[in-house]
Amino acid sequence: MRVLITGATGGLGGALARALKGQELFLSGRRAGPLLELSQATGGKPLPADLSDELEARALLEEVGPLDLLFHAVGVAGRHPVREVSREALEGMLAAHLLTAAFLLKHARFNKGARAVFFGAYPAYVRVPGFAAYAAAKGALEAYLEAARKELAREGVHLVLVRLPAVATGLWTPLGGPPKGALSPEEAAGRVLEGVLRDPPPQVLEV
């Protein structure tokens, strides 16, 4: 399988890459150092890119070529109370979650039967004080995918939205660390792979 993992320098993306060692792997993230280390550990090709920049996203996807499997494990998190949130924080949140996904779907090429996997959150877990910007970005991503589903299905591509509970990754660093009971990235990646590779693939996978 030809597999692209974006956010490979992150907790979930890294665990997916290690679990998929042996496949034809393309690994993307912004930080070149960790990306190189992961590529040495997994045999994946390291392709650094900031995917909120459409030109970088397009160049990455041209280099990668047709895919059987895409995991878009990109995201940022932060606490932004509604009385304090800045335009910069709102734009950053939407860029990381919505724009990156939209640019990938615009420029990716897929083989027939491919699966493109995106990561959402359980609405109830993010509708909490300080998380309005993150919740809005995830809601926008989910709405975009639901509306895009039929267009991609015409090309034989299955979109899968995975709703994740808390996973102990660096996403939580700006929030002071993961909550008690968070899944390990390895456990989350295992559950994601098991669900996403099912036949037929689910439209929404709740982990």
Ligand X SMILES: NC(=O)c1ccc[n+]([C@@H]2O[C@H](COP(=O)([O-])OP(=O)(O)OC[C@H]3O[C@@H](n4cnc5c(N)ncnc54)[C@H](OP(=O)(O)O)[C@@H]3O)[C@@H](O)[C@H]2O)c1
Binding region for ligand X (CB under 6 A): 7, 9-13, 29-31, 50-52, 73-76, 96, 100, 119, 121, 164, 166-167, 169-171
Give me the least distance between CB of 182 and ligand X, in Å please: 6
Return the number of the residue (111 or 172) whose C-beta is nearest ligand X: 172
Of 148 and 171, which CB lies nearer to ligand X in the complex structure? 171
Amino acid letter for position 65: G
State the first-to-last Cα distance of the chain, in angstroms, to the nearest integer: 23
Alpha helices (runs of H) in 20-117, residue ranges in sequence order = 32-42, 54-64, 87-94, 100-107
**Least distance in angstroms from the C-beta of 154 to ligand X:** 26
Kindly tell me which of 56 and 111 has the beta carbon lying closer to ligand X: 56
Closest CB to ligand X among 111 and 139?
A: 139
Q: Give min distance, CB of 151 to ligand X, in A.
A: 22
Q: Within a 13 Å sphere around the CA of 75, how many CA atoms are in the beta-carbon half?
A: 27
Q: How far is the CB of 125 from ligand X (least distance, A)?
A: 8
How far apart are CB 100 and ligand X at their closest, in Å? 6
- Judged by CB, which is closer to ligand X: 103, or 110? 103
| Helix extents (H) in the chain | 11-19, 32-42, 54-64, 87-94, 100-107, 123-126, 132-153, 185-196
Tokens 């878009």: give the residue: 72
CB atoms within 10 A of CB 165: 15
Least distance CB 112 / ligand X (angstroms): 26
Nearest alpha carbon to residue 141 among 97, 207, 105, 171:
97
| Residue of closest CB approach to ligand X | 10
Q: Which is nearer to ligand X, 39 or 169 (CB)?
A: 169
> What distances in angstroms separate CA 46 from CA 25, 42, 60, 203, one per listed residue?
9, 10, 10, 29
